[in-house]
Chains A and B, each alone.
Chain A
Amino acid sequence: MIFWSVLLFIHMLFAIVLLGAITHQAVSVCWPNRDCAKSFVGSFRGVNGMTYTNAIIILFLCTATFGSIIYPNYRLNVRTVLHEFHFYKPEGSFELKEHAAAIGAALLPAYWYFWRNPSDGNRATRTAVTVVLALIVWWAFMVGHVINNIRGFGS
């Protein structure tokens, strides 16, 4: 049980770093800091999104890999409990998370392509792909956090 808890913890740590990185990039591409404001919010928006791309891809793949390794344990020891106690909404939310994560992982090649060749022509698509990926990561993180609170680390 300690082994699975450690893997879950590593999965969560990767997810936290990924969440920060993708949020920075999504905010910077949606709301760029054109006037170089030095405030906290301005600095948050003012990052160079391009430098985050490869790190986000690696973090997403690491998070998804750890998630897919611990997934059978969830299926046997967590989902059955959720079902038994009629926690259908968390169970359904996790179902959506796993499918969103798969589609998000498949979106990474396109994400890499549009960030590798950033231009005004593909700005709208690049922004939309980044925002979709950010929303997937946020959804996955929130649901994972809720499921962990119900029956996760150390249980």
Chain B
Amino acid sequence: MKLARLFPVFSASFAVIYAPALYYNWALVTYQPSMNEWDFGPVTKLGPPMFWYGFVATSFIGACIVTAIAALLPDSAARRLWSGLTWLLPVAALIFIAYILRPYFLS
């Protein structure tokens, strides 16, 4: 299987991992902007913590693992997957994230 054919798998799986990473706070790293420090895992210290970089790192590594697993599948199995999942899963993830963030819009 050509590497490029795995790109849609990476894109879809990144979004699928990102939404629960945000919900359960699976941040791989935390940046403390007030102290200019990086910590492993979700850590709250003095000042506001930034988990976003950690969510991106977690989702990137997770998506790479899923893509590597998908590379082991035979081409025939990959062809059976509907290509529409490439956009449908990110849209579903964004809707879920908007739902998580609803207190901001309801308060």
Contacts and interface: CB of A to CB of B under 8 A. Distances in A.
Interface string A99-135: 1101100111111111010000010110011001000
A129 B86 CA distance: 7
Interface stretch (A9-17, A47-55, A69-77): A69-77
Given A92-B101, A103-B18, A110-B8, A125 B87 contact: yes
A128 B104 contact: no
Given A76-B33, A99-B22, A99-B94, A116 B84 contact: no
Interface string B39-62: 000000001101011011001100
A87 B17 CA distance: 29
Contacts, number: 104
Interface string A45-88: 00000000000000000000000100111011001100000001
Nearest to A127: B87
Given A89-B105, A110-B7, A128-B86, 7 more contacts: A71-B50, A72-B50, A92-B105, A106-B63, A110-B11, A110-B86, A125-B84
Interface of B: 4-5, 7-8, 10-12, 14-15, 18, 22, 31, 33-34, 47-48, 50, 52-53, 55-56, 59-60, 63, 83-84, 86-88, 90-91, 93-94, 97-98, 101, 103-105, 107
22 contacts: A71-B52, A73-B33, A75-B48, A88-B103, A92-B101, A95-B101, A96-B101, A98-B52, A100-B97, A102-B18, A102-B52, A102-B56, A103-B14, A103-B94, A106-B14, A108-B11, A113-B5, A113-B7, A113-B8, A128-B87, A132-B90, A132-B91
